[in-house]
A and B are shown apart, each in its own frame.
Chain A
Amino acid sequence: MTAASSSILEVRDLVTAFDTDAGRMTAVDGISFNVPQGKTLGIVGESGCGKSVTAFSITRLLPQPHGKILGGSIRFNGQDLVQVPIDEMQKIRGNEISMIFQEPMTALNPVQTVGRQLAEAILLHSGCSKAEVLASSIEMMKKVRIPEPEQRLSEYPHQLSGGMRQRVMIAMALINKPKLLIADEPTTALDVTVQAQILELIADLQKEMGMSVILITHDLGVIAQVCDEVAVMYAGRLVEQAGVFDLFARPRHAYTQGLLESIPRLDSTPKTKLKAIQGNVPGIADFKPGCRFADRSGREHTEAQLNTRPPFVEIAPNHRAENCPVCVA
């Protein structure tokens, strides 16, 4: 992990759970990572592994009253976000930390114009005049490359295409020039062509504004193209973290290796068998205390390895893994 002084965010031993009818479900089970200043950390993992819950923990937007942070710390700008009172957190959110959500329609208000929503995002955090608000709204719409911004400001979200909505959400997230942007699957619902536009847009704005980014995705292609650091999540935990070149060249955990091998490559011979990971992603109720990838790894684990959690440690310079002796060779 990079030196503490150059990280904008430091997450330590974060535990987040939901109280459900079936009991307490630990969705994020003690994860630690840093976001390097001005860089992009990718969090990659399959459905249900806890990516969004991690994002909602950092922004303190967990569904209430069921979602709770049970332990750990999230240090940002010298304060622990876990301990910050909720009204203080509201000021940080949308100002210093912004989030782009997986589904734009949940974040946009369907009965308000785009312009009104942008204006509210600005006014919440500053005392600008009406004219200033309009000017910066138009500027931001231009930045996210929405054609005819003046006209779009008076439209409603449903009048926009999926890619355009995603851009409006990015505009809202960036209008107050946050230090940290959390983008939760910003392109999953979009075509590859629009995805490429949006990713390039985020990267450009990042360069221009010097912000740090957490990019959440299940797509290793996206990770490879835009991230500096990568954290691989599986079943509520981090199994591996490293620089992007290191991780793709030398994946150490059996899960990361399996994932990388199973994606069809453009240079593969058509209609040949792909490598596959056996079994299915476990549901939250089936999370095991020990190595959670054991039953899919195709490798024999001892009783002790199934029952004791392997430590998440540095196994090579700047390369960490959940060090199950069977899965990390």
Chain B
Amino acid sequence: MSLLTVKNLQQYFPVRGGVLHRAVASCKAVDGVSISLGESETLGLVGESGCGKTTLGKAIVRLLKPTSGSIEFDGHDITRVSTGALRPMRRHLQMIFQDPAESLNPRHTVRDILEEPFIVQKIGTKDERRQWVVKLLDKVGLSASVMDRFPFEFSGGQRQRIGIARAIALKPKLIVCDEPVSALDVSVQSQVLNLLLDLQREMGLSYLFIAHGLNVVKHMSDRVAVMYLGKIVELAPAVDLYQNPRHAYTKALLDAIPIADPTQRRERQLLRGDVPSPINPPAGCAFGHRMKHPKWKESVSMDLTLQEVAPGHWVQPCPCCT
């Protein structure tokens, strides 16, 4: 049984305008996404800026109120539960953000930050909590001596470690990692990625791993989902996706990766045009529309629900892109 099952999730934001500041349209940030995630599994999520990755992540950990669809976590339907009812589940459902500086309170010491999850959940005595904090720091490779320092006194990589320590404090089952290494120096990125891999092995964590860098996503994931304009267009085992991409958008993304090897320079089939806006998205296959594909019109009247084309390899069945 899977740990997380998301069905046909929609997350719309009102777009306000006019003198009355009324909702005049909606931004369909996540528009009918279905995914599942097993125990100790990592699902990678890639796509261009604005395609809805962060929104999907936030909806799953219920930092947002989904517009429609359902989210089942660990056997419970959490789509509409209130914050209060969510609390006991919250400890199993965590999120790490791109910019650790923004998500760590600058006026709190490392000790305050790491003790907080225990205090919120009302567990442990003062002494116990202190011991746990020392253990957590050790787990993420920081020394106990940093406990009374403030976030700004650390480097980006160290701050991300503190963010990870906080996320794993209550032994969660699932962590949504939203671009956890994008803000880090290259030489520090691999330290943090290794830490995430170690913690997964040790604690049996599941990750939804969001990133721009496709090589990073591939390295971290068992399966990868490719998102375009609020929808998943392809989902497959990591290696399979990179070796046999089926959707034109996946191919374009793979093609654009700058490979760190000058002997592998290539002529690219460059994607033209910019990422379209999720406000009033086109009907049918959105990528076919962007590419002005002659067969796009056919896709408008089609059911574009993902279909399994090889074991575990799902793709949008549209006439223009697959």
Contacts and interface: CB of A to CB of B under 8 A. Distances in A.
A264 B258 contact: no
Interface stretch (B3-11, B167-175, B187-195): B187-195
A47 interface: yes
Contact of B271 (A193, A223, A262): A193
B122 to A, nearest CB: 36
Interface in B200-232: 212-216, 218-222
Contacts of A223: 260
Contacts of B275: 161, 191
Given A196-B256, A221-B259, A271-B222, A46 B186 contact: yes
A130 interface: no
B268 A271 contact: no
Nearest to B200: A271
B186 A259 contact: yes
B310 interface: no
Contact of B261 (A161, A248, A259): A248
Interface footprint category on B:
35 or more
A198 B211 CA distance: 21
Nearest to A274: B190
Interface stretch (A13-21, A105-113, A277-285): A277-285
Contacts of B219: 264-265, 268, 270-272, 274
Interface in A189-246: 191-197, 199-200, 218-225, 244-245
Contact of A225 (B191, B197, B216, B265): B265
Given A193-B48, A265-B215, A273-B197, A46 B185 contact: yes
Nearest to A262: B190
A170 interface: no
Nearest to B268: A196
B239 to A, nearest CB: 7
A270 B238 contact: yes
B176 to A, nearest CB: 18
B39 to A, nearest CB: 15
B258 A193 contact: no
Contacts of A278: 191
A260 B213 CA distance: 16
A63 B56 CA distance: 42
A194 to B, nearest CB: 7
B258 A221 contact: yes
A122 B123 CA distance: 68
The residue among B157, B190, B220 with the most chain A CB atoms within 10 A of its own CB is: B190
A164 interface: yes
B143 interface: no
The residue among A192, A220, A222, A275 with the most chain B CB atoms within 10 A of its own CB is: A192
Given A191-B48, A281-B187, A224 B261 contact: yes
B274 interface: yes
B270 interface: yes
Interface in B262-276: 262-265, 268, 270-272, 274-275
A161 B265 CA distance: 28
A276 interface: yes
B48 A200 contact: no
B146 interface: no
Given A46-B186, A196-B256, A266-B215, A273 B194 contact: yes
A197 B258 CA distance: 12
A315 interface: no
Nearest to A243: B262
B220 A46 contact: no
Given A225-B259, A264-B219, A266-B257, A276 B271 contact: no
7 contacts: A47-B156, A192-B212, A192-B257, A192-B258, A258-B187, A265-B219, A277-B190
Task: Enumerate the 4 nearest inter-chain pairs by beta-carbon distance, A residue then B residue, closest first.
Answer: A221-B258, A264-B219, A274-B190, A277-B187
